[in-house]
C-alpha cells in the first residue's frame, strides 16, 4: 500500500509527530511510506507551482493519506493551513477524492479535538474516506501501552484501506452565499464615546477586495464611535513567516524573529495596549485565513502567559460561521482559558443588511460598556480545563524549558491545585471515615441537601 504522509510541523525532519509515523513505517514494512514536509516547505510550495503539483501527483498515486500534524493554537500550524488553501486555490481537490485518510497529531491535548475537527471537516469537504484520528500526547511513544494502542489503531486503518471499507461523513457540506452587505445610511443618533478606552481592529482584508463585506462591516462598526478607531491590516504588516516551533521564547519570551520583522513590535505596542480588540476576518475553508492563523501562531512568543487577560474581544466575520461551530469553539476556548471576555460574533450570515448594522452597533456599545465595568464572564469547561492543562504541564513536564511561564504562574498563584484546599480535604477525610457507619450515613442523608444550601442561604441573608 502506498501511503503519503503530509507532515504539518514547521520542524520538518525534527518533528515529534513525524517520528510517530516513522515508528509505523518500521512496524509495517509491508507498506510504502512517502514523507512530505508541508509546513516546513510552504514557501517553496507556494512559490513554485511545479513543487506543488509534484506533491499533488504523489497524492494522486497514493492509496491513503496520513495527515501528521502537531497542535498549534487549537488548530494546525498556519503553513499547513496555507497548504489546504492552496489545494482549493489551485483546484487540486480532485486528487484527494475517495482517498482514505488518517489524522495523527501530537500535542499536550489542549484543544486537540478542535484541530482534529478541522482536519476531519476538510477531509469531508474533499470527499475523502476519513477513517479517524489518533491524538497522541507528545511523549506517548515512550510508553509501551501507548505504543501498542497506536499500532492497533494503525493496523485497523491499513485493514480498512485494503478492504475498502466504507466510511461515514461527519460534517455537512458548507453552503456558500453571494450575499452583498449594503450598510444603511448612518442614522446613529448618539455616537459612542470611547471613555478613554482603546479600541483596535485587527483585520486581514486582502488588497483589491475593499468592496467585500468584511471591509464594509468594519467601516460600519467604526461609524458607531465619536472618535477615530485604529485598524491594522495583517496584510500590511511585514511578517517574515510563521512560528518556527524553535521554542527559543520558552526561557524569557524572546522570539527568534526579533529584529527581523514587524510582528513583535506590533503585538507589544498595539495588541497588548488595547482595551478592546476586534478581530475581523473572512472564513476560508473552515477557519479564517492562514494569515490570521499566522497572527495566532506568532503570538506564541508570549508562551502560556495570558498577556491579553482582562480584555474584551469582539469578532466581525464574513462567512458561514454558524455552519462551523468548531471555529467559534476555537476562539471561545482560547479566550476563556486566558481570561479574555468574548463580547460577540457578528457575521454577514443573516443576509439582512439592516440587522447586521444593528448588530455591529450593539457590538460597539457592548464592548465599551463591558470594558468600563471590567466584566469577564465565568469560565465554562472550556476555560476551566484549558487552564488546568496549562497549569499541570507548566508545573510538571513543561517547567523546563518554559521558565518564563513557570515564574509567571508561580507569582500569580496559578498553581492552585486542589490539594492546597487543606481544610476541605481534612473535613472530607473525617467524613469518609465516619461514613463507614450506617447510622452516620442515615443521619447525614437526612440533612445533606439542607446542609449544602445552608451556607448559600446565609450569604443571601447577609450580603
Query: Is the peptide bond prior to 401 cis by the omega test (within 30 degrees of 0)?
Result: yes
State in angstroms the smallest separation of the CB of 380 from ligand FMN. 18
Pick 107 or 282: Cβ nearer ligand FMN: 107
Minimal distance in Å, beta carbon 373 to ligand FMN? 30
Residue closer to ligand FMN by CB (options 110, 315) is: 110
Nearer to ligand FMN, 80 or 100 (CB): 80
CB 342, min distance to ligand FMN, A: 17
C-alpha distances in angstroms, 344 versus 187, 240, 289, 352? 22, 31, 20, 18
Burial class (CB in 10 A: 0-12, 13-18, 19+), 107: buried
CA distances from 207 to 16, 204, 211, 262, 408 (A): 37, 9, 10, 19, 40
Shortest Å, Cβ 458 to ligand FMN: 42
By beta-carbon proximity to ligand FMN, the closer residue of 300 and 315 is 300
Which of residues 1 and 108 has its CB atom nearest to ligand FMN in the complex?
Answer: 108
Query: What values do phi and psi take at 123, rounded to 5?
Result: -60, -40
**459 CB-contact burial (10 Å; exposed 0-12 / middle 13-18 / buried 19+):** exposed
Nearer to ligand FMN, 5 or 343 (CB): 5
Q: Which residues bind ligand FMN (CB under 6 A)?
A: 9, 11, 15-17, 70-74, 106-112, 138, 243, 245, 297, 300
Minimum CB–partner distance for residue 284 and ligand FMN (Å): 20
Neighbouring CB atoms inside 10 A of 461's CB total 7
Task: Tell me how far, at minimum, the Cβ of 247 lies from ligand FMN, in Å.
Answer: 6
Instruction: Select from 203, 197, 339, 337 the least CA-distant residue to 274.
Output: 197
Nearest distance, CB of residue 301 and ligand FMN, angstroms: 9
Q: How far is the CB of 209 from ligand FMN (least distance, A)?
A: 29
The residue (of 108 and 232) whose beta carbon lies closer to ligand FMN is 108
- Indicate the burial class of 432 (C-beta count within 10 angstroms; 0-12, 13-18, 19 or more): exposed
Residue 144: CB minimum distance to ligand FMN, A: 19
Angstrom distance (rounded) from CA 32 to CA 418: 49
Tell me how far, at minimum, the Cβ of 166 lies from ligand FMN, in Å: 31
Q: Which is nearer to ligand FMN, 16 or 34 (CB)?
A: 16
Between 110 and 279, CB nearer to ligand FMN: 110
**Grid coordinates representing 192?**
459612542
Mode of pairing for the β-strands spanning 64-70 and 199-203: unpaired
Give alpha helix (H) positions in 224-374: 249-252, 263-266, 290-298, 325-337, 353-373
Judge whether 234 and 295 are in contact, CB under 8 Å. yes
Q: Which of 38, 36, 30 is nearest to 2 (CA)?
A: 30
Q: How far is the CB of 244 from ligand FMN (least distance, A)?
A: 9
HSE (CB half, 13 Å, CA atoms) of 133?
19
- The answer to whether 3 touches 31, Cβ cutoff 8 Å, is yes
Complex with ligand FMN: residue 51 or 244, whichever CB lies closer:
244
What's the rounded Cα separation, in Å, for the pair 84 and 42?
A: 11
- Cβ–Cβ < 8 Å for 45, 87: no
Q: 29 CB contacts (<8 Å, ≥6 apart)?
A: none
Residue 245 or 319 having the CB closest to ligand FMN: 245
Q: Which residues contact 370 (CB under 8 A, 6 or more apart)?
A: 312, 341, 343
330-335-337 Cα angle (round to 5): 95
Amino acid at each position: 500500500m502506498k501511503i503519503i504522509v503530509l507532515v504539518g510541523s514547521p520542524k520538518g525532519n525534527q518533528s515529534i509527530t513525524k517520528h510517530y509515523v516513522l515508528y509505523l513505517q518500521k512496524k509495517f514494512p509491508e507498506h510504502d511510506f512517502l514523507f512530505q514536509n508541508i509546513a516546513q516547505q510552504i514557501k517553496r510550495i507556494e512559490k513554485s507551482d511545479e513543487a506543488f503539483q509534484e506533491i499533488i501527483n504523489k497524492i494522486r498515486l497514493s492509496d491513503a493519506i496520513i495527515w501528521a500534524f502537531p497542535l498549534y493554537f487549537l488548530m494546525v500550524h498556519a503553513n499547513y493551513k496555507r497548504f489546504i488553501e492552496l489545494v482549493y486555490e489551485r483546484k487540486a481537490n480532485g486528487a484527494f477524492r475517495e482517498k482514505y485518510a488518517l489524522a495523527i497529531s501530537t500535542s499536550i491535548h489542549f484543544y486537540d479535538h478542535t484541530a482534529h475537527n478541522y482536519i476531519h471537516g476538510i477531509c469531508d469537504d474533499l470527499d475523502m474516506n476519513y477513517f479517524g484520528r489518533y491524538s497522541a500526547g507528545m511523549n506517548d511513544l515512550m510508553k509501551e501501552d501507548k505504543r501498542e494502542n497506536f499500532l492497533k489503531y494503525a493496523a485497523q486503518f491499513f485493514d480498512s484501506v485494503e478492504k475498502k471499507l466504507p466510511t461515514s461523513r461527519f460534517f455537512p457540506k458548507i453552503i456558500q452565499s453571494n450575499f452583498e452587505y449594503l450598510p444603511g445610511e448612518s442614522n446613529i443618533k448618539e455616537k459612542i464615546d470611547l471613555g478613554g478606552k482603546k479600541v483596535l481592529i485587527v483585520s486581514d482584508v486582502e488588497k483589491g477586495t475593499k468592496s467585500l463585506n468584511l471591509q464594509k462591516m468594519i467601516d460600519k462598526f467604526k461609524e458607531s464611535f465619536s472618535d477615530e478607531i485604529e485598524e491594522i491590516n495583517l496584510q500590511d504588516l511585514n511578517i517574515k513567516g510563521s512560528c518556527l516551533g524553535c521554542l527559543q521564547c520558552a526561557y524569557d519570551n524572546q522570539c527568534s524573529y526579533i529584529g527581523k520583522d514587524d510582528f513583535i513590535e506590533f503585538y507589544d505596542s498595539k495588541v497588548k495596549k488595547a482595551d478592546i480588540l476586534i478581530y475581523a476576518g473572512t472564513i476560508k475553508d473552515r477557519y479564517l485565513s492562514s494569515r490570521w492563523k499566522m497572527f495566532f501562531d506568532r503570538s506564541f512568543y508570549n508562551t502560556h502567559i495570558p498577556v491579553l487577560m482582562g480584555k474584551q474581544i469582539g469578532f466581525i466575520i464574513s462567512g458561514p460561521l454558524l455552519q462551523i461551530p468548531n471555529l467559534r469553539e476555537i476562539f471561545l476556548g482560547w479566550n476563556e482559558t486566558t481570561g479574555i471576555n468574548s463580547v460577540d460574533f457578528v457575521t454577514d450570515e443573516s443576509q439582512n443588511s439592516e440587522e447586521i448594522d444593528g448588530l455591529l452597533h450593539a457590538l460597539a456599545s457592548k464592548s465599551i460598556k463591558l470594558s468600563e465595568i471590567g466584566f469577564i464572564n465565568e469560565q465554562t469547561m472550556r476555560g476551566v480545563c484549558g487552564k488546568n492543562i496549562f497549569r499541570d504541564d507548566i508545573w510538571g513536564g513543561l517547567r523546563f524549558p518554559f521558565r518564563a511561564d513557570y515564574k509567571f504562574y508561580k507569582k500569580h498563584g496559578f498553581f492552585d491545585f486542589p490539594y492546597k484546599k487543606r481544610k476541605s480535604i481534612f473535613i472530607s477525610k473525617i467524613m469518609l471515615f465516619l461514613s463507614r457507619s450506617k447510622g452516620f450515613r442515615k443521619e447525614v442523608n437526612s440533612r445533606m441537601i439542607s446542609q449544602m444550601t445552608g451556607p448559600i442561604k446565609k450569604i443571601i441573608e447577609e450580603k
